Amino acid sequence: MIKYTLGAFFTLYIALAWSNGDTQTKYKTENVIIMIMDGPRYSETWGDSTHQHIPHMANDMAEHGVVYTNFRNNGPTYTCSGHTAIATGVYQRIDNTGKKYPKNPTIFQYFLKATGKSRKAAYVIASKDKLAILTDTKKRKWREQYRPYSDCGVNGFRTGYRSDLETYKSSLEILKKDKPNLVLINFRQPDSWGHAANYERYLSSMKKTDEYIYKIFEFIRIDPYYRGKTTIFVTNDHGRHLDGHKDGFVSHGDNCEGCRKINCFAYGPDFKKGIITDEARELIDIPITTAKLLNIEFNKKAKGQLMTELFVETK
Ligand SMILES: [Zn+2]
Ligand SMILES: [Zn+2]
């Protein structure tokens, strides 16, 4: 009898909750981490059926999330532009040396404004010092406000690039110590070895980056603070020229398929698992989806779309 009554109350509670007209979906995600392997071609990442240069993503990560086989940078295919697209949801031709902040406020600023959290709740971590541009905007109403913490290059703007090993170690330290909720991490080495025209190192550094990304992925899945409530995106800022086009894998920056087509993997408590999708998606969809998961307002001018296919259908 008691059991029956409790059941009835529970049913009533659910019915009332529904009739409230509250359509706000509560996601399990409380943290989002976006990791970027700078500048590998799709043909050497997921597009290579042996996945020899990204073994962890293929063998240890893919089964836990969603892999995209039709993902693109549809804006300028340079590092600062690619990262700006991920951070602002808007494609912008922006100086590639780190002299300018993006035109639009970043997702980090929207997050800090919406939550009122301390600056350390959002973090930009990068091997390339110039990516500290992602910590602010030129937009007057937002300039110098709600700025995330950053750990970029040797010691911030104009101090030079550092190794991915240092970035990896620093990322883990920051995650353990400051427990930020929204983080972007850039690993530069595949791009740097590409520009150095060293194909062997370009490939081997890809494998190394795959390992760093996997170790952070595993940390997130085990750590008591992050596990079960953290979404991870792994992508690239751009690809590189196709073989036979200009100088091939050495450079990037145009409209060729090699520069446009990139890799993307998404994992999280609200996402499906073990899926490979050919849904056409692009860089600017990542911040839109991130804002939705974190339940924060985002730039109305951002053109990206919500990556609906990722979500587990709620009954
Ligand atoms: Zn790049
Ligand atoms: Zn190209």
Residue 272 confidence (pLDDT) above 70: yes
Mean predicted confidence (pLDDT) in 16-20? 45
- pTM, two decimal places: 0.92
Indicate the residue type of 188: R
| Interval 213-238 mean pLDDT | 98
Cα-to-centroid distance, 39 and ligand 1 (Å)? 5
**217 Cα to the center of ligand 2, angstroms:** 30
Strands 149-152, 122-126: pairing is: parallel
Among 1-10, 77-86, 146-155, 251-260, name the one with the lowest average pLDDT. 1-10
The superfamily in CATH containing domain 25-310 is Alkaline Phosphatase, subunit A (3.40.720.10)
pLDDT, average across residues 223-229? 98
Q: Whose CA is closest to 256, among 47, 90, 77, 37?
A: 77
Ligand nearest to the CA of 253: 2
* pLDDT digits 0-9 by tens, 132-151: 999 999 999 999 999 999 99
- How close is the Cα of 206 to the center of ligand 2, in Å? 19
Report domain extents, the chain.
25-310
Specify burial of residue 25 (Cβ count, 10 A radius: 0-12, 13-18, 19+): exposed
Q: Which ligand is nearest to the CA of 189?
A: 1
How far, in Å, from the CA of 95 to the mean position of ligand 1? 13
Residue 6 has pLDDT above 90, yes or no: no
95-127 pLDDT per residue, tens: 999 999 999 999 999 999 999 999 999 999 999
C-alpha closest to that of 32 among 148, 137, 133: 148
Q: How far is the CA of 238 from the centre of ligand 1 (A)?
A: 6
Q: Which ligand is nearest to the CA of 246?
A: 2
Is 139 within 8 Å of 104 (Cβ atoms)? yes
Contacts by 112-117, CB closer than 8 A, 24 or more apart: 112/146, 112/147, 112/148, 113/145, 113/146, 114/294, 114/296, 114/297, 115/181, 115/296, 117/181
Q: pLDDT band for position 26 (50/70/90)?
A: confident
Q: DSSP secondary structure string, 24-49?
A: PPPPS--EEEEEEE-S--GGGTTTST
Q: How far is the CA of 199 from the centre of ligand 2 (A)?
A: 16
User: What pLDDT score does 313 carry?
Assistant: 84
Mean pLDDT of 29-43: 98
Q: For the chain, what is the mean pLDDT? A: 94
**How far away, in angstroms, is 38 Cα from ligand 1 center?**
5
CA 79 to ligand 1 center in whole angstroms: 3
**Burial status of residue 251 (CB atoms within 10 A of its CB: 0-12, 13-18, 19 or more):** middle
